[in-house]
Structure 1
Amino acid sequence: MSEPSFPPLFTGQDAAGSDPFARACATAEAGCDAGLVVYDLAADLLRAAIIFAPDVPLRKAAVILPICGVGFQNALGALAPPEVAVHLGWDGPIYVNGGRCGALKMAAPGQPEDEPDWLVIALELALWPPSEDTGLTPDETALYAEGCAEVDAITLLESWVRHTLVGINTWVDSGTAPLHREWIGLAHALEGKVTVKGKTGTYTGLDEDLGLLLKIGDKIELVPLTAILTRPT
């Protein structure tokens, strides 16, 4: 298997079967330059994690997660047949043709008002379903079961990083308005009653940092993107 090629300032590291998310977080905590892409490409699963070093408070830097989601949609959209639809869940899930196909995760140290030393976004994408009997899991799918068998995993990984870099540069230059417009057009099931992080309310919109605004009772409550921060288990 050939090694992926990344844009300038990005370097790759093969996780060789270990969890890229855990390795990237450990490497970031130990101290490393931003731009490291840790990846593991199995026959049935694509896993990767990118280390960032944002120079804004974490509450604003967390928009890197939806930037990576839009970057993935753009990457797959350029490689897959035009009838393949990709949508994004607010808290990280990735849907292909309506079925959950993978997810993004985010980790970073510090409090929302702090500028984090690092931020890691991880991607996990099912390439083949675990069973030929896909009727057992009708809400879940895999990339190659959705008409994307010609999409090479290495090419998709490379394209994801490139499109994510474009999204980061747009955010730095133009703020979150372009991201907001593009992301909302890709949102999955973001209407009516929504339950996320233990809160259930009526979706009313997103704030400028793509935090979720829910009407709960008579109040509008904000669920910020920092609420979905996690760490490797």
Structure 2
Amino acid sequence: MNQSPQFPPLFSGEAVRNHMDPFDKAVSRAIAGVDSGTIFYSEAVNTLRAALVLAPETSLEEAIQAVYVAQIGLAESLGALAPPEVPVHFQWPDRIKVNGAVCGSVRFAADVSDPRAHPNWLVIGIDVPFMLLSDEPGENPNQTCLHEEGCVDITPMALLESWSKHTLLWLTYFMDSGFERVHNEWRPRCDTLGKMIDRPKPGVFVGLDEKGRMMLRQGVMTETVSLIEFAEHL
């Protein structure tokens, strides 16, 4: 019998059946009024799928910056549990990369879409594959899993526990001192910064502004793209 993961103070966990999506469960429970800090998670052994419910006290434009917090929490968790030579990076807006290949993602949803509106809830989910469904390693060189990258000693529940602790720590920093500290931690882990990108649209990824929006340069023009545009519409 699996031992239930241990969560830090202010967070609690609820397992969902393997055929259920923890993100969908989190959204439905958030709509019903579940406590902020509840993490819904799958107990599957081949992947970590979990979703955290938050009840922001700010506008959506500020609250959505917590997505970066969740990414940092995941990177720090992998940094603590994985072999030291395994690099973890981000690809804006929602990809996690291990050893240069995509190895997971984040997703998010809120009950409002207007940046100035105050959401009742924000759900941030993570999905990290431990094993690939394909029998052919290297079949897609841009996709990987933790086991292929030498992280065979990490279990989904251990990563979940670590993610919850690191994410809570960075949420505290975020709430205490705003986005700047989060931005400073996130920036060096983004491997497309300063480079020409195709997604979400072609341009040079200049960086993030003070509100966490992507600054994308196209010729002499620079436009901003918000994470809000990538929130899941319910």
Q: Distance in 2 between matches of 1:119 and 1:179?
A: 18
**Residues in 2 aligned to 1:158 and 1:19: alpha-carbon distance in whole angstroms:** 19
How far 1:66 sits from its partner (Å)? 0.8
Query: Secondary structure of 2:189's match?
Result: coil
Q: Share of identical aligned residues, percent?
A: 38
1:105: Cα distance to partner?
Answer: 0.4
Please report how far the alpha carbon of residue 84 of structure 1 lies from its aligned counterpart in structure 2 after TM superposition.
0.7
Tell me how far apart the structure 2 counterparts of residues 195 and 112 of structure 1 sit (CA, whole Å): 25
The residue aligned with 1:79 is: 81
Residue 15 of structure 2 corresponds to 14
> Is the CA contact (8 Å cut-off) linking 2:129 and 2:145 kept in structure 1?
yes
Looking at structure 2, the residues matched to 52 and 121 of structure 1 have their Cα atoms a distance apart, in angstroms, of 8
Match of 1:171 among 155, 170, 174: 174
**How far apart are the structure 2 equivalents of 1:231 and 1:149?**
35
List gaps (5 residues or longer) in structure 2: none
SS at match of 1:9: coil
Return structure 1 stretches of 4+ with deviation > 4 angstroms: none
Distance 1:216 1:126 in 2: 34
Q: Distance in 2 between matches of 1:75 and 1:209?
A: 25
Q: TM-score, normalised by structure 1?
A: 0.95
- Matches of residues 91-170 of structure 1 in structure 2 within 5 Å? 91-110=93-112, 111-170=114-173
Q: Could you tell me how far apart the structure 2 residues matched to 1:74 and 1:135 are?
A: 26
Superposition deviation, residue 219 in structure 1: 2.0
Which structure 1 residue ranges, 5 or more long, are not aligned?
none
Counterpart Cα distance in 1 of 2:106 and 2:119: 19
1:227 match: 229
TM-score under structure 2 normalisation?
0.95
In the alignment of these two chains, the number of paired residues is 231
- Structure 2 SS opposite 1:114: coil
In structure 1, C-alpha distance between the alignment counterparts of 2:197 and 2:99, rounded to whole Å = 21
Contact 2:194-2:207 at 8 Å conserved across structures: no
